[in-house]
Amino acid sequence: MTAIDPGRTVAVVGTGTMGQGIAQVALAAGHLVRLYDAVPGRAEEAARAIAARLGRLVDKGRLDAAGRDAALARLRPAARLAELADSALVIEAILEQLDVKQKLFGELEPVVSEDCLLATNTSSLPVTAVAGALRRPGRFVGLHFFNPAPLLPLVEVVRGFATDEADLERARATVAAWGKTPVTCADTPGFIVNRIARPFYAEAFRVYEERGADPATIDAVLRECGGFAMGPFELTDLIGQDVNNSVTRSVYEAFFHDPKFTPSFAQGQLVQAGLLGRKTGRGWFDHGEGAERPEPSTAEPCDPPAEISWHAKAPGVCAPLHEMIEEAGVKVVRDRTPQSEWYIGLPDGAMLTLTGGEAATPQCGGTYIYFDLALDYRSCTRVALAPSEKASAADVRAAVGLFQALGKKVSVIGDVPGLIVARTVAMLVDFAEDAAGRGVADREDVDTAMRLGVNYPRGPLEWGEEIGLSRVRNILWGLSQDYPGGRYEPSLSLRRRAAVRESLL
C-alpha cells in the first residue's frame, strides 16, 4: 500500500501543541494542511505559531527562507468542518474525552470523501471506542505522535478492532513517507510505549516510598549505572506529575486494577498538593529560580581490599568484573570448589554478589552485600550497593572500596529487594515479553518503540536476552517472595521463553 500523495490535503483538528506539531510535520512532507479548531480564532493563532517556529528554523540554518515561504503558502486555517472536505487524511488532536472525540468524527464523516483516512492522536483512549460511532470504522486508525512531534521520530500506528488492513498499511506508509518511524500495535491500554514504560516510574517511586534511597540518588543510579538518559523523578517533573500520574491511572483502570500497574501513592500526593513539576516550580525537586538540585548519595573514599576470592562462574553480565578487579591491582584468588552460586568473597567473609531480586538481610548461610545490575560494568560510572543488616562497617567499606578501585562512584542504599536498576529492567523486560506474547506488537516494533519513544539505552527484549531470560525471571521470583500479591509474578510469555532458552543449553 502506498502513502498518501503529497499533493493531497491533510487536515489537523485541534490546534494545541500536539496539533501544531503534527501540522508542521505534514507541511514538511509537502502537503497542503488545513487547521481547524472549534474555538474561533484558534486556528489562525496556531498558524502564526507554526510560522514563528519555521522562522526560527530559518534563523538556525535548518530551513531556507524559500522552503519556509512555500510551507506557509500551503498552511490554511479553516473556520468550518466543511472546509476539510477535500482532505485525504484527517488527524484529530483534541481533548482526551471519548464523547467529545466521537461527536467530532460523527460530524466529520459525512463531510469527507469515502477514501479519506480518519485518525486520532489519542494516547489514553481506545481507538476502537473512538471509531465506534462511525458508519465506516474500517478507515479509522490511531496515529500516536510523541511530543514534540517535529523532533521525535516515533509514531504508534494503532489498529482498532474494526480497522481495515489496507487502511492501516496506508497510514503506516504515510507516516514513513513523512520521515517518521512507524510501529504497528493493537488497540490495548497504553499501546506500546505507555504500557511497557510504567515500571520505569513505578519501581523508582516504590523504592522511594520504602525509604531505600532519595529521588536524586535513584535518578543517578538509573542514569549512571542503568544507562537511561534521565531518571524517573526528573523526567516526571519535566512531563508533569499530573500528566504522568493520569496515564498510569488510565492504564491501571483499563487493566481492571491489575497489581502490576498500581499507581504510586507518593506521586498521587504530589498531584493533590499541586506540585506538578517544572510547570509549577516544584515537584519531586525544587525548580524555583536559584534552587539547587540535591546531590545523590555518594560514599566517601574507602580503601579497596588487597585480595578477594572469586567463587564459581560469574553470570555473563558480570563477567568483565574479574578482569577489571585484576586491572585495579586487587589480587583475585579463584575458589575451585564447585559452587551453586557466584559471589565475590570479601576479606572478613561477606559475600558481594549481583542482586537476585530478594532482600539481603533475610538470606541464610552468610552475610550478603548485593550490587545492582549495570548496562555495562566497564563504562558505567556509578554502582549501588545494598548491604544486609548483618554486614559490618568493615564489610561495607571493603565493598565500596572495591568498586571505587574500578573507577565507580558508589551509592549505598537501603536493603530493598532488587535494588534499583535490576528490578526496573526486569519489570520492563517482563512487560515487553508480555506485550509481544499477547500480540500487542511484533518484537522488533516493541524494541524500536521503547528506544525511540522513551530513549531507552536498549530495547527491553534485546536487554532481556543479554541479561539472560532465566535471570530476569529469577529476579522477578525473588521480588515476588518479598512482595507477594502478583505485582512481580513473571508473565507466562517470559516463563515460556526462559524455559526454551534453558532447554537449549
Catalytic, out of 124, 144, 203, 433: 144
Please state, in angstroms and rounded to a whole number, the distance separating the CA atoms of residues 50 and 67.
Answer: 14
The answer to whether residue 156 is catalytic is: yes
Which of 274, 203, 196, 192 lies closest to 241, judged by CA? 274
Q: How many other β-carbons are positioned within 10 Å of the β-carbon of residue 52?
A: 9
Encoded amino acid at 426, one letter: A
Which of 243, 241, 237, 242 lies closest to 291, judged by CA? 237
Q: Which three cell numbers stand for residue 400?
A: 565500596
Encoded amino acid at 169, one letter: E
CB 126 within 8 A of CB 148: no
User: Which residues fall within 8 angstroms of residue 334, CB to CB, at 6 or more apart?
Assistant: 309, 310
The answer to whether residue 311 is catalytic is: no
Question: pLDDT at position 133, please?
Answer: 84
Output the tens digit of pLDDT for each of the chain's 505 residues. 699 999 999 999 999 999 999 999 999 999 999 999 999 999 999 999 999 999 999 999 999 999 999 999 999 999 999 999 999 999 999 999 999 999 999 999 999 999 999 999 999 899 999 999 899 999 999 999 999 999 999 999 999 999 999 999 999 999 999 999 999 999 999 999 999 999 999 999 999 999 999 999 999 999 999 999 999 999 999 999 999 999 999 999 999 999 999 999 999 999 999 999 999 999 999 999 999 999 999 999 999 999 999 999 999 999 999 999 999 999 999 987 877 889 999 999 999 999 999 999 998 788 999 999 999 999 999 999 999 999 999 999 999 999 999 999 999 999 999 999 999 999 999 999 999 999 999 999 999 999 999 999 999 999 999 999 999 999 999 999 999 999 999 999 999 999 998 888 7
CB 385 within 8 A of CB 370: yes
Please state, in angstroms and rounded to a whole number, the distance separating the CA atoms of residues 375 and 418.
Answer: 15
CB 143 within 8 A of CB 91: yes
The answer to whether residue 123 is catalytic is: yes
Give the dihedral sign, CA 277/283/284/288: positive
Q: Which three cell numbers stand for residue 43?
A: 486556528
Q: Which three cell numbers stand for residue 405?
A: 578501585
Helix (H), strand (E) at residue 220 = helix 215-224
Which of 203, 202, 213 lies closest to 414, judged by CA? 213
Catalytic, out of 87, 121, 123, 244: 123
Catalytic, out of 109, 156, 224, 234: 156
Please state, in angstroms and rounded to a whole number, the distance separating the CA atoms of residues 496 and 106.
Answer: 44
The answer to whether residue 323 is catalytic is: no
Please state, in angstroms and rounded to a whole number, the distance separating the CA atoms of residues 288 and 281.
Answer: 5
Strand 368-371 relative to strand 382-387: parallel, antiparallel, unpaired? antiparallel
Beta bridge partners of 155: 145, 182
Catalytic, out of 124, 194, 244, 411: 194
Please state, in angstroms and rounded to a whole number, the distance separating the CA atoms of residues 352 and 314.
Answer: 12
Question: pLDDT at position 1, please?
Answer: 64
Encoded amino acid at 233, one letter: F
Question: pLDDT at position 364, please?
Answer: 79
Which of 257, 261, 289 lies closest to 488, judged by CA? 261
Phi, psi at residue 39, to the nearest 5°?
A: -85, 120
CA gyration radius, the chain: 26
Cα separations (Å) of 505 from 468, 470, 495, 499? 12, 12, 16, 10
What angle do the packed helices 198-209 and 241-254 form, to 10 degrees? 110
Largest CA distance in the chain: 81
